[in-house]
Structure 1
């Protein structure tokens, strides 16, 4: 009769939770999938943008090195139904939440 060996479960031996590695946030990132600056791997995690020391949740695109963000301009839409955006200049910080 075969004997069963006790095999330790991997989470029992290692108390640290396994989290997928987050890619480094790029200098220029866009939420529009058609943009060449769209990085789908970055959007698998929650991204935060701090603009002039205030956290913003309506940013469509940003560039840290040039110091600007693009945000929707009210309820205005272009002829394709996408929101019109305006570029605001200032200090930009991108981070994972």
Structure 2
């Protein structure tokens, strides 16, 4: 397995940025200095994340999201456990 973190990653299987192998390993996301667990998608180079808004679902049963801009830091969680 590679430890390369993609610039953009999505938790939705319908997205072209979805990577099941990487998501199963665990991804940590820090947005504006705070670790977030409700991130549905991120883009490091453009500096934004899509955050789930409560428990609200859209008409397709996916979480409603809001796109927020700011500094994004990403790491693979299983690599920090090995260290």
Q: TM-score w.r.t. structure 2 length?
A: 0.85
Q: Deviations over 1:14-72 (max 9, x none)?
A: xxxxxxx3341100000101100111221131110010111111100000000000011
What are structure 2's unaligned runs of at least 5 residues? 78-83
Q: TM-score w.r.t. structure 1 length?
A: 0.73
**Is 1:84 matched up with 2:64?**
yes
Aligned residues: 77
**Is 1:28 matched up with 2:29?**
no
Segments of 4+ moved more than 2 angstroms: none
> Who wins on radius of gyration, i.e. which is larger?
1
What are structure 1's unaligned runs of at least 5 residues? 1-20
More strand by share: 2
User: Pick from 10, 20, 38: which aligns with 2:18?
Assistant: 38
